[in-house]
Structure 1
Amino acid sequence: MIDKTWASAAEAVADIPDGASLAVGGFGLSGNPIGLIEALLAQGTTDLSVVSNNCGVDDWGLGVLLNARRIRKMTSSYVGENKEFERQFLSGELELELTPQGTLAEKLRAGGSGIAAFYTQTGVGTQVAEGGLPRRYDGSGGVALASPAKDVRVFEVDGEDRDFVLEEAIRTDFALVHALRGDRHGNLVFNKAARNFNPLAAMAGRVCIAQVEELVEPGGLDPDSIHLPGVYVHRIIEVGTGIEKRIEKRTVRAEGN
């Protein structure tokens, strides 16, 4: 029996060094592995290069690492809910590789599948392909580092020549993910929107650390309901069903309207 359970989040992330690259699950604030993020914050790890759909908000999710100046670079598709992110990026303190959301998802999936790169039509004819997107500012309004031009090739699709841009896969040193349930072998089940990026982030990490709300014994999960097989997961901790969950915005209407 391969038991991948660890006693605590602190122990599970203890060997993540300064300068490590991380793939972190979550979509908005849904499915953020906050227990693992807070453990990483507590141990003082810094100079991190993080790949995640977004960077949380100012006081939650990856935003807590950002506020503590622990993140050197973000690779994301959306950064609009974090004022400190904007400040650090425009002041030249943070590097950003802005990536179309579907492309980011496929880059993570490709990395976990052993695919080095792929061609996509997304970004053709824009700075995503042609280069020049600011990755780091100089603090005075100028661009200190810009994105490079990417390879563009023509492929025939349905009898028509179309341009495609080459995107490289993403592999990271570690992955941090959140799941609804998992077993001791590392098989995971995700809940609703938390399934968007968590499985892909898990695949991309050379060492995947998963926090689960409920830990069950092997055989306790319906095989047909497993979203990510345990082969991708190396460590698993249980955080309980009472763990805090947040949403960015709540919109309500008056009763009867």
Structure 2
Amino acid sequence: MSTDRPVRIGLQLQPQHADYADIRRTVAAAEEAGADIVFNWDHFFPLYGEPDGKHFECWTMLGAWAEATSRVEIGALVTCNSYRNPELLADMARTVDHISDGRLILGIGSGWFQRDYDEYGYEFGTAGGRLNDLAAALPRIRDRWGKLNPAPTRDIPILIGGGGEKKTLRYTAEHASIWHGFGDAETVAHKCGVLDGHCRDLGRDPSEIERSAGVRDAPEKDGPALYEAGVRLFTVGQDGQDGYDLALLRDWIAWRDEQNRR
């Protein structure tokens, strides 16, 4: 795995427990602070805090963010494959790609939050079945991109989130340019090794896939070990329960700049 990629910093701006005006201001503030990417997530209800608290939908929000920003990349961390037909999702992504002048990342995963499924009428099924559906969807998305007029402005980066070693990481090796994982540095390093193995099996250069992880603590605590594990995209999570505070994001941006000067 290549380790010569620059460090990048993302913000997962969780669209829960906040008014949209606050979310929009925070997107603009993150861009001004120097973030590389701003993500939301693809759910219909809050994941923590008051379960019936304020919450907004993912993809309509991304279309608005495409107009509200001018530099940062944007995307979902991650889109639930189950909620939209793959051809429709491909067209939505292509449209936001154009609105943003080529700044969309298509983050995608197999889905897991059962309340979303139950209340919005999707079949929850099994984890294995949802992963199989994701495997079927990914080539359909790429195929649809090749048929759309106008075509996407660029080869839209696909980010796959999840750590399943037999299926998710293999799909990542086959289709993605970014992998987003979870856990401590030791866990992430192990998963990166598995991903590298899948790349070799498929004849793909592992260095083509950027490694990403979520961070919750100060960069001095989490940064060095995750960096050593191969992570180059570090994403800070923020929700609106107590108002959005970008102090931790700014610390990570400063750490990024220091690392990239070396």
Same fold (TM over 0.5): no
Normalising by structure 1, report the TM-score.
0.37
TM-score, normalised relative to structure 2: 0.36
Hey, which of these two has a bigger chunk of strand by percent?
Answer: 1
